[in-house]
């Protein structure tokens, strides 16, 4: 059994979503397909919420634009018939809810983090319904019922034990194709909708792959694989054939956003290979991430870069040689939910 995750660009246009259909329908055994929101929709959901909260009435245009995008997609890819009508009803019910939420934000001029999480969840909820209706013999599952988070250091963190148990129950019997919205989850105590962080659909896929001990985790995206650098920055970057889990983790952690960093660990833990493939060029070999490499003669695999990072220098003669200073610094950062990813000390 394999898990296939398709990112925003893969489900973002009529042409690309048809490619997703062809790729999935070519599979023989049962597959679980994890999907992101239509490309750009998550950003647009957030932007529209900010506009409404600031009292900017043109949020309505932004909202209508999202409605139009989903309607157009359905219009173009789903053949006329009862399936299309049922899908249309479900999509409009969700969009009507979202419209009410935006109107509420516009009237109240206030937004809570719970409300933000609710707003962004619509992206994957909508896209998974469309993909579920598009692919033959597919059944849509609601990730909020089995991806359970708890609050730690002000962040939503997956409760892996509970989620594992629920995933097992949900997928005890596998249909030919299961479609799962990535990214979204719900709080284990309040059942409120939460999420796994930006780019989190990769993580949804990895967690399911690990629990069900999938033979492979495929991440389908818009580039030929894990590359030597971000091709949007370095035009001569090329796809790497294979990477170890440790190498991939290091590159992802330092900005290679082709894979969301927490994705690597569940796959590594169960020794499940991760294959990065290009939806727009499925013939390309892609990159496999696994434990043992057939050729490990190149010590440097790639270069990554990271933006929006704060560098904090803590200095002073009074702290030189003082035992416990680092302990205090890192404890203060941890208590505030700050992850430190590079440390250097004189």
Contact positions vs ligand ASP (CB under 6 A): 7-8, 36-37, 42, 123, 182-183, 198-202
Rounded least distance, CB 8 to ligand ASP, Å: 5
Give the range of 27-35, 123-131, 250-258, 323-331 binding ligand ADP by CB under 6 A. Answer: 250-258
Site residues for Mg ion, 251-270, by CB under 5 A, read none
Q: Which residue's CB atom is positioned nearest to ligand ADP? A: 7
Query: Hey, which residues between 170 and 229 contact ligand ADP (CB under 6 A)?
Result: 199, 221-223, 226-227, 229
104 binds, among ligand ASP, ligand ADP, Mg ion, none (CB under 5 to 8 A by kind): none
State yes or no: residue 257 binds ligand ADP (CB under 6 A).
Answer: yes
Q: Which of 199, 225, 266, 302 binds Mg ion (CB under 5 A)?
A: 199
Q: HEC string of the chain? A: CEEEEECCCCCCCHHHHHHHHHHHHCCCCCEEEEECCCCCHHHHHHHHHHHHHCCCCCHHHHHHHHHHHHHHHHHHHCCCCHHHHHHHHHHHHHHHHHHHHHHHHHHHCCCCHHHHHHHHHHHHHHHHHHHHHHCCCEEECCHHHCCEEEEECCEEEECHHHHHHHHHHHCCCCCCEEEEECCEEEECCCCCEEECCCCCHHHHHHHHHHHCCCCEEEEEECCCCCECCCCCCCCCCCECCEEEHHHHHHHHHCCCCCCCHHHHHHHHHCCCCEEEEECCCCCCCCEEEECCCCCCCCCCCCCCCCCCCCCCCCCCHHHCCCCCHHHHHHHHHHHCCCCCCCCCCC
In the complex, least distance from residue 43 CB atom to ligand ADP, rounded to whole angstroms: 11
Binding site for ligand ADP (CB under 6 A): 7-10, 36, 199, 221-223, 226-227, 229-232, 256-258, 302, 304
Binding site for Mg ion (CB under 5 A): 7, 199
């Amino acid at each position: 059994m394999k898990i296939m995750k398709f990112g925003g660009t893969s489900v973002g246009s009529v042409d690309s979503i048809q490619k997703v259909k062809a790729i999935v329908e070519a599979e023989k055994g049962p597959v679980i397909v994890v999907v992101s929101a239509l490309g750009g929709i998550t950003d647009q959901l957030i932007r529209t919420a900010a506009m409404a909260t600031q009292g900017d009435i043109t949020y309505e245009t932004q909202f209508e634009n999202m409605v139009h995008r989903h309607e157009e997609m359905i219009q173009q890819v789903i053949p006329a018939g009862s399936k299309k009508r049922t899908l249309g009803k479900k999509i409009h019910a969700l969009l009507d809810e979202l419209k009410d939420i935006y109107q509420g934000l516009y009237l109240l001029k206030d937004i809570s983090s719970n409300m933000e999480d609710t707003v962004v969840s619509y992206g994957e909820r909508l896209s998974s319904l469309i993909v579920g209706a598009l692919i033959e013999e597919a059944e849509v599952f609601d990730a909020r019922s089995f991806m359970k988070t708890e609050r730690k250091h002000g962040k939503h963190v997956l409760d892996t034990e509970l989620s594992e148990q629920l995933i097992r129950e949900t997928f005890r019997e596998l249909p030919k194709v299961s479609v799962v919205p990535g990214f979204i989850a719900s709080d284990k105590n309040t059942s409120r909708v939460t999420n796994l962080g930006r780019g989190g659909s990769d993580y949804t896929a990895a967690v399911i792959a690990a629990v069900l001990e999938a033979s492979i985790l495929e991440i389908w995206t818009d580039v030929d694989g894990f590359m030597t650098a971000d091709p949007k920055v370095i035009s001569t970057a090329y796809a790497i054939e294979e990477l170890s889990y440790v190498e991939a983790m290091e590159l992802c952690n330092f900005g290679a956003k082709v894979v969301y960093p927490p994705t690597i660990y569940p796959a590594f833990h169960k020794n499940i290979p991760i294959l990065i493939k290009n939806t727009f060029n499925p013939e390309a070999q892609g990159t496999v991430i696994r434990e043992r490499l057939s050729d490990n003669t190149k010590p440097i695999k790639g270069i990554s870069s990271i933006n929006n990072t704060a560098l904090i220098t803590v200095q002073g003669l009074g702290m030189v040689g003082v035992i416990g200073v680092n302990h205090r610094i890192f404890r203060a950062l941890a208590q505030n939910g700050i992850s430190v990813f590079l440390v250097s000390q004189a």
